[in-house]
Amino acid sequence: MIMPPEPETILVTGATGYIGGRLAPRLVAEGYAVRALARDPRRLGTLAAAGVACVGGDVLEPESLGPALQGIGAAYYLVHSMEAGPDFAARDREAAANFAAACAAAGVRRIIYLGGLGRAGPRLSKHLASRQEVGDVLRAGPVPVTELRAAIIVGAGSASFEIIRDLARKLPVMICPRWVRSRCEPIALDQVLAYLIGALREPRTIGEVLEIGGGEVLSYEDMMRQCALALGKRIRILVVPVLTPRLSAYWLNLVTSVPMHIARPLVEGLRNDVVTTDQRIREWIPVVPLTFRAAVARALAEEHAGPLATRWTGAAASPGTATAWTGTVVGDEQRRAAAVPPAALFATVERIGGATGWYYGDWLWRLRGSLDRLLGGVGMRRGRRDPVAIALGDPIDFWRVEDFVPGRLLRLRAEMKLPGAATLEFAVEDQPGGGAILAQRARFQPRGLWGRVYWDLLRPVHSLVFRGMADGIVRAAEAEARTRIAA
């Protein structure tokens, strides 16, 4: 029997992530009162516009969870720390334990968790083992847990899908390790969301570990071939036994949009078969099946249609939303007057990065991005979520929006490989008598001797680029104003 929507508010954690950002508005559309949790609720502006109540809280800070959980009937746990680096498993254990205890204290009646498929044992990858361990930690508390386990999620913006898409799109011939013949049961994004919402209404799912899949078992080789056909391409795949997970991850880092710190745990998981063996949920929650080929076509169509609702890049590579400056800080500051209104100047600033570029020395920016990719960093391939609009937490090439005041301030935090912390800030001020002032500030906090050497060696290049960028922004804003007047 399917239960009607519950009167209590539903909490969605991981709301800035790929699944959480899609699930919350779907729940609202289904008639639920929904609350979304994020370290900085300002990052949830698009969810607020969809009718989601946005609150602050951090699963690594237990004292912050109590207020967010008050009045919650059921909570979705969609948090993972893979972006945090090699210690993600320990962070995930701590976060899950904190959340389970806070739910118990607040009287939450159940937790719904999305984990990963894979047969438990010594051969299970660290990533998949961690996903299953999180479920165990949540179940150790008194609140009943429903755990859904899935393999690759096929949808626009999914990191796993983008790896397959990029390989199929860019490489007519691929030399692949043996993991390309591992068996996988992919599942479409819409099916995952349907099961997550259905589990909320179906009482038989309470306290259960359930496996969800699309019903079609394929090898990764099969998936790449089918994706290539959807893109109008053909590929040849040569399987060799010598590529280690580290080499495979490095190769994916260079060829696809996914950086090393995400590619490595994903690749290690590819050696495991991830196929459902328990189909009870298909009887309890009927979901329209979707073939892999149909799911790929739907994902590609969404990519072509415009900015995505969520993408794997939405999760920050480092915790927190503000850079704390202590000790030595060096930098560069440029001020320029512009013969345009402040709003027009800031509109030019807002378009920075992505297809627009950086207003000066784009080849230098691309070179820096290529070097970052070689070092295993994010590089320039993340681009922008939207060519014009900006929201707090958005990635912009190898930066992330740390602070944003519409019409006045844009501050970016560096996420490229650096021997220190860096921000780049653009502030627009009114100019007495008309026009506007651009205040552009770069700040760098060196980490150790190498950090200081790095800054000193590149000071002439930084000075050239930052001067040219400030001039370029003003020129672009004034040129656009003249074009509007002429029209």
Q: Which of helix, strand or coil describes residue 74?
A: strand
State the Cα–Cα distance between residues 175 and 272, nearest whole angstrom: 19
pLDDT score recorded for residue 172: 82
Q: Give bridge partners of residue 332 from the DSSP assignment.
A: 442
pLDDT value for 427: 97
End-to-end CA distance of the chain: 63
Report phi then psi at 190, rounded to 5: -60, -35
Strands (E), 52-180: 53-56, 72-77, 110-116, 145-150, 153-154, 173-176
| pLDDT given at position 178 | 76
Q: Nearest Cα to 312, choosing from 359, 276, 262? A: 262
Residues in a beta bridge with 237:
174
3-state secondary structure of 145: strand
pLDDT tens, residue order, the chain (487 aa): 444 444 579 999 999 899 999 999 999 999 999 999 998 888 888 898 899 999 999 999 999 999 999 999 999 999 987 555 567 888 999 999 999 999 999 999 999 999 999 888 777 888 888 899 999 999 999 999 999 999 999 999 998 898 889 888 887 887 777 778 889 999 999 999 999 999 999 999 999 999 999 999 999 889 999 999 999 998 888 887 766 667 777 777 777 877 777 777 777 777 788 999 999 999 999 998 899 999 999 999 999 887 888 888 876 544 444 555 566 899 999 999 999 999 999 999 999 999 999 999 999 999 999 898 888 888 888 888 888 988 888 899 999 999 999 999 999 999 999 999 999 999 999 999 889 999 999 999 999 899 999 999 999 999 999 999 999 999 999 999 998 887 6
SS3 425: strand
Q: Beta strands 9-12 and 34-38: pairing type?
A: parallel
pTM of the predicted protein model:
0.83
Task: Give the H or E element holding residue 368.
Answer: helix 362-374
Report the amino acid identity of residue 345.
L
Task: Provide the pairing of β-strand 420-430 with 409-414.
Answer: antiparallel
- 252 in helix, strand or coil? helix
pLDDT of residue 244: 67
Under DSSP, the state recorded for 214 is -
For the chain, domain boundaries: 9-314, 330-486
Helix (H) or strand (E) segment spanning residue 420: strand 420-430
Q: Phi and psi at residue 237, in whole multiples of 5°?
A: -120, 120
**CATH architecture, domain 330-486:** 2-Layer Sandwich (3.30)
Q: Which residue has the tokens 């005041």?
A: 405
CA-wise closest residue to 241 among 175, 183, 182: 175
Q: Which CATH architecture has domain 9-314?
A: 3-Layer(aba) Sandwich (3.40)
